[in-house]
Amino acid sequence: MLKKLLKQEFLATTRVMGILYLVMLVLAMGNQLLVNSLGELGELVRALILLMAMACGLATVPVMIVRFKQNLLGDEGYLMLTLPVSVHQHLWSKLIVSAVWSALSALMTALALNIIRYGSEGADMPLISINGTPLTFGGDGLLVAELVVLGLVGVCTICLQFYAALAAGHGFSRHKMLLSAVWFVGLNAATSLLIELLPSPDLHFRGNLMADVHQAVWLIIAGTAAVGAAYYAITVYCLQRHLNLS
């Protein structure tokens, strides 16, 4: 059933994400024409287009959150939550689709930025750099992979925080969105407090910079995943026990 849910999720979200990517590419390519024809105003337009293209890339998570609310907590919930599918399968389908679109959005944003930079000053500089020095991550492919994992786990955790808050807020009969916002703030505060109260991890730095970085990244991944798991449990509990569709 997860495969069937994934198929439906991709069908539904492709319509929105496809438009976002199209807008990004049109903005990026339009930038080349506009900047050349506008003279001094060109740089301002370039900066605006850059921001808009990046905003399209960053819109992935909000799109996925709106999809969750409409699909499970709105009128469509009457259909989706009466399918012979478990709440876990619903959540995993949404998380997997969010992760895939986030990764694609990152690639599309990079592509759009490269198109925008094409022919401009510093276009020969690497996209990810500090004062012109490219960030090579020490030539360590494993670190890049770890950062990708961290990014995907982070996206899923952010989505789950919104899912948990929305599911909890929609368990009430009235003021569902207001109470969802209250839950979101509460979850944020509880997570921050927990992180403050937990004892600091006993890191063993071995004097090898890259080994220490690997250790730190995995620790952050584990912590983020643990927080995500807590949000996941809250979401499942609310969807199974306290669902209160209008």
Partner 1 sequence: MAVLEYREVTKLYGGVAALDGVDLTIEPGRIVGLLGPNGCGKSTFLKLACGLLAPTAGEIEICGGRPGQPATHAQVSFLPERMAVPVWMTAAQLVDFYQDFYGDFRRDVALQMLSDLHIDPALRVREMSKGTREKVQLILAMSRAALLYLLDEPIGGVDPATRDYILSTIIANYNPEASVIVSTHLIADVEKLLDEVVFLQNGQVILHDEVDHLRESRGMSVDALFREVFKC
Tell me: does residue 1 bind partner 1 (CB under 8 A): yes
Half-sphere exposure of 23 (CA within 13 A, CB side): 17
Question: Measured from the CB atom, is 8 or 32 closer to partner 1?
Answer: 8
Least Å distance, CB 19 to partner 1, is 13
Binding to partner 1 (CB under 8 A) within 13-32 occurs at 15
The only residue of 33, 40, 84, 131 in contact with partner 1, by rule CB under 8 A: 84
d(CA 33, CA 120): 12
Distance, in Å, from the CA atom of 94 to the CA atom of 104, rounded to the nearest integer, reads: 15
Closest CB to partner 1 among 1 and 211? 1
Residue 91 C-alpha from the chain's centroid: 15
* CB nearer to partner 1: pick between 13 and 157: 13
- Verify binding: residue 77, partner 1, rule CB under 8 A: yes
Query: What is the C-alpha separation between 189 and 157, in angstroms, rounded?
Result: 15
Q: How far is the CB of 237 from partner 1 (least distance, A)?
A: 11
Residue 197 near partner 1 by CB under 8 A: no
Distance (Å, whole) CA 189 – CA 229: 17
